[in-house]
Chain A
């Protein structure tokens, strides 16, 4: 593959409410066994990209821990590999990443030292499968300067979360608005771009000179008429998890057979860090219906229409409905959980009740395990 990859994983969003207090969005657990960034990393690996940089800033501990070895995504190579770049103080810079363009600018040496002619940029908070080679072919065929991968918006999606694009019949971009109040089109940007490496370096350097820092508003939108920018439409599953509602829905999507088959059974596979947990255990009295259960879980109660992440313990007479239980949660006996997202490593005391009445409730209990 004639491209290097950049994964923008610095992000944080107030729309993730309490969930982002613990980690960057890219490190959010997804679909029982994965983390959000696994999808972008697996796509890079499966597209035979050899060199990938992850740019991260906000609460990166959990993400760094997840990426502590690159071998799970097959990036443990002599040629290339996985680079995690957090902001550092240098002789001529003492800032945090002031935006996506600035994040790339502060690590421009990485891009300058590469030899690959193209760069694939993607965000770390989307759940999708993609062969970037196909997008690159399209990019070359269109003689594009920049290709923006887009998705037709689901009518229920909130347009003000996304970049909205309008293009002509050749798919060339005519209009590009970032997070408008009123959407003029149903094409939304997925935050996946292909651009020539030299051009990217020029644009980023120019942008930095002007003290501008955002890749979308300061580069893509400003250059939309000047450069040849094209839309590539992704028709398969794509979902961004950066709000609590979207995160919940994305996890629930995996209860649908078509989504499960697409991600779990069809090639290529999605990789993640291996966690050495025993198989899930169902004790007498467990009733599990239409749910995903990850390894290391022990179930004694009732679980319906829910996603249980790794190492969940469900006590006797518990009832869990329509909920997402993140990694290593302990649910004491007689707990009732409905319409909730339970934060990782929570200990829910026996006989407690959490119900998301108007929408999804995020449960964060910091009870220490030894207090039980």
Chain B
């Protein structure tokens, strides 16, 4: 029987609701990152760079963008005769059909898919982190230890440890205890949500816990394996790893890319990140334009000023416009004479002429203060912003907005403006 030593299962079904309007219409793994990439490109590229050529991508929430992005996997060389990338949405069964109710439940519902490859090991990944990691090294570690489960973990500052799932290990890396967001952490090793399971162990656990509602790796499967066998190991990872789950961390991770020598360097020849970007012409910087400390995607045209920005591909920035400290995603069009400060403008938006973003004081968002903070202006994809309006901090805008939606031409700090429609 043909077999694969290790296959990867990539959990990409989550909404990522803390990204607010950015994930209103797309799953979080499909959100753009770093000018030309999408978040899912990082784990997918890590897979192929680690020699894993069989990846199941589990989708559920708003999968259209993910499906078109991944296609048959050509950009990652994951178009294979045996293996390759497969999109795995929830499906109807002869009895007991259900959505994916939890991370482990989603994997459980695809036991048949995994069986096809008769694997020795299964790698569980999530599609919402930015990092470069060689899973093959982690697998070697797993084999060396004759482990049942290996959990990738990274050291975090002691004071932040209480925000994470913490693993406590002995000297050999064997896990003795788990603490979920502990007030007084016993260790500073935080779980990264990356697991290697010995297939038999995973299968047994999934079947044993098949009736647990919302079966989850962190809450159910890992504790079950821990109680049962005890051969759980932590694989310490010390490279760059960034959770981009909140607008603030998403913005920050993008901004880190424009440092002269960024900690996370996309320009290294070794360990390339692949994406489905299509074939795009070079970018044009006009005679009046000023561009510094920024990265700009292919096919963009800049006539205005761009400082400290991450600009996607196919973007047009008209003359007289000044953009600072912002993320502009692909195909956005920004009119003349605008001043855009500290904003995230999602794909395919149109911003009219003489628009000002980021004025006023840092008032918390009235509707969702936990989401729209960090002083950012966040604009959802396909939104239309009329000419001449001003927008304050900690605001969110989505949809086809008109002048009337801005009282006195101003959207005050802390307001949220969600409308229907948008640019086609």
A contacts, CB < 8 Å to B:
31-34, 71-72, 255, 260, 263-264, 269-272, 274, 276, 278-296, 298, 307-309
Task: Give CA–CA (A286, B267) in the complex, Å.
Answer: 18
Task: Give CA–CA (A271, B277) in the complex, Å.
Answer: 12
Judge whether A295 and B282 touch: CB under 8 Å.
yes
Q: Given A33-B298, A274-B277, A284-B292, check contact A279 B282 (CB 8 Å).
A: no
Looking at the assembled complex, report how far the CB atom of A187 sits from the nearest CB atom of chain B, in whole angstroms.
31
Looking at the assembled complex, report how far the CB atom of A266 sits from the nearest CB atom of chain B, in whole angstroms.
12
Among listed B283-291, B352-360, B365-373, B376-384, interface-contacting one:
B283-291
Q: Given A263-B281, A281-B258, A282-B293, check contact A294 B287 (CB 8 Å).
A: no
Contacts of A276 in B (CB 8 A): 75, 272-275
Judge whether B285 and A293 touch: CB under 8 Å.
yes
Contacts of B286 in A (CB 8 A): 289-290
Task: Give CA–CA (A293, B289) in the complex, Å.
Answer: 13
Judge whether B35 and A33 touch: CB under 8 Å.
no
Judge whether A270 and B279 touch: CB under 8 Å.
yes
Judge whether B291 and A288 touch: CB under 8 Å.
yes
Contacts of B36 in A (CB 8 A): 278-279, 295
Contacts of A289 in B (CB 8 A): 285-287, 289
Judge whether A264 and B281 touch: CB under 8 Å.
yes
What would 23 A/B residue contacts be, using CB atoms closer than 8 Å? A32-B282, A33-B281, A33-B282, A270-B279, A272-B279, A274-B75, A274-B277, A276-B272, A276-B273, A278-B35, A278-B266, A278-B295, A280-B295, A282-B291, A282-B306, A287-B292, A288-B289, A288-B291, A289-B286, A289-B287, A294-B283, A295-B297, A295-B298
Give the 8 A-B residue pairs with the shortest CB-CB distance, closest first: A32-B282, A279-B35, A278-B266, A264-B281, A294-B282, A290-B287, A288-B285, A292-B282
Task: Give CA–CA (A307, B291) in the complex, Å.
Answer: 16
Judge whether A33 and B280 touch: CB under 8 Å.
yes
Among B74, B260, B311, point to the contact of A284 (Cβ < 8 A): B260
Among B75, B279, B282, point to the contact of A293 (Cβ < 8 A): B282
Judge whether B284 and A279 touch: CB under 8 Å.
no
Among B34, B275, B282, B295, point to the contact of A282 (Cβ < 8 A): B295
Judge whether A260 and B284 touch: CB under 8 Å.
yes
Contacts of B313 in A (CB 8 A): 279
Looking at the assembled complex, report how far the CB atom of A285 sits from the nearest CB atom of chain B, in whole angstroms.
7
Judge whether A284 and B293 touch: CB under 8 Å.
yes
Looking at the assembled complex, report how far the CB atom of B296 sits from the nearest CB atom of chain A, in whole angstroms.
5
Size bin of chain B's contact surface: 35 or more
Contacts of A287 in B (CB 8 A): 290, 292
Judge whether B260 and A31 touch: CB under 8 Å.
no
Task: Give CA–CA (A298, B266) in the complex, Å.
Answer: 11
Judge whether B298 and A279 touch: CB under 8 Å.
yes
Encoded as 1 (CB less than 8 Å from any A CB) or 0, chain B from 134 to 163 comes to 000000000000000000000000000000
Residue with the highest number of chain A CB atoms closer than 10 Å, among B278, B286, B311: B286
Task: Give CA–CA (A293, B286) in the complex, Å.
Answer: 11
Looking at the assembled complex, report how far the CB atom of A307 sits from the nearest CB atom of chain B, in whole angstroms.
8
Among B283, B293, B312, point to the contact of A280 (Cβ < 8 A): B283
Q: Is B214 an interface residue (CB 8 A)?
A: no
Judge whether A283 and B289 touch: CB under 8 Å.
no
Contacts of B287 in A (CB 8 A): 289-290
Task: Give CA–CA (A215, B258) in the complex, Å.
Answer: 54
Q: Is B20 an interface residue (CB 8 A)?
A: no
Judge whether B260 and A279 touch: CB under 8 Å.
no
Task: Give CA–CA (A361, B306) in the complex, Å.
Answer: 33
Q: Is B294 an interface residue (CB 8 A)?
A: yes
Among A71, A255, A278, A296, point to the contact of B34 (Cβ < 8 A): A278
Judge whether B279 and A271 touch: CB under 8 Å.
yes
Task: Give CA–CA (A260, B280) in the complex, Å.
Answer: 12
Within 8 A of A (CB), among B309-334: 311-313
Task: Give CA–CA (A286, B307) in the complex, Å.
Answer: 11
Looking at the assembled complex, report how far the CB atom of B275 sits from the nearest CB atom of chain A, in whole angstroms.
8
Contacts of A286 in B (CB 8 A): 291-292
Contacts of B283 in A (CB 8 A): 280, 292-294
Judge whether B74 and A71 touch: CB under 8 Å.
yes
Q: Is B409 an interface residue (CB 8 A)?
A: no
Judge whether A283 and B279 touch: CB under 8 Å.
no
What is the chain B residue whose CB lies nearest that of A281? Answer: B295
Within 8 A of A (CB), among B50-78: 74-75
Looking at the assembled complex, report how far the CB atom of A31 sits from the nearest CB atom of chain B, in whole angstroms.
7
Looking at the assembled complex, report how far the CB atom of A288 sits from the nearest CB atom of chain B, in whole angstroms.
4
Task: Give CA–CA (A183, B340) in the complex, Å.
Answer: 57
Looking at the assembled complex, report how far the CB atom of B317 sits from the nearest CB atom of chain A, in whole angstroms.
13
Contacts of B89 in A (CB 8 A): none
Among A271, A281, A307, point to the contact of B267 (Cβ < 8 A): A281
Contacts of A34 in B (CB 8 A): 281
Looking at the assembled complex, report how far the CB atom of B125 sits from the nearest CB atom of chain A, in whole angstroms.
21
Within 8 A of A (CB), among B15-57: 34-36
Judge whether A291 and B284 touch: CB under 8 Å.
yes
Q: Is B299 an interface residue (CB 8 A)?
A: yes
Contacts of B75 in A (CB 8 A): 274, 276
Within 8 A of A (CB), among B100-136: none
What is the chain B residue whose CB lies nearest that of A311? Answer: B267
Contacts of A260 in B (CB 8 A): 281, 284
What is the chain A residue whose CB lies nearest that of B285? Answer: A288
What is the chain A residue whose CB lies nearest that of B288? Answer: A289
Looking at the assembled complex, report how far the CB atom of A311 sits from the nearest CB atom of chain B, in whole angstroms.
9
Task: Give CA–CA (A37, B267) in the complex, Å.
Answer: 28
Looking at the assembled complex, report how far the CB atom of A370 sits from the nearest CB atom of chain B, in whole angstroms.
13
Contacts of A269 in B (CB 8 A): 279
Contacts of B260 in A (CB 8 A): 283-284
Task: Give CA–CA (A283, B292) in the complex, Å.
Answer: 6
Task: Give CA–CA (A340, B306) in the complex, Å.
Answer: 28
What is the chain B residue whose CB lies nearest that of A300? Answer: B260
Task: Give CA–CA (A291, B287) in the complex, Å.
Answer: 8
Contacts of B267 in A (CB 8 A): 278, 281, 296, 298
Judge whether B279 and A274 touch: CB under 8 Å.
yes
Task: Give CA–CA (A370, B6) in the complex, Å.
Answer: 38
Contacts of A294 in B (CB 8 A): 282-283, 298
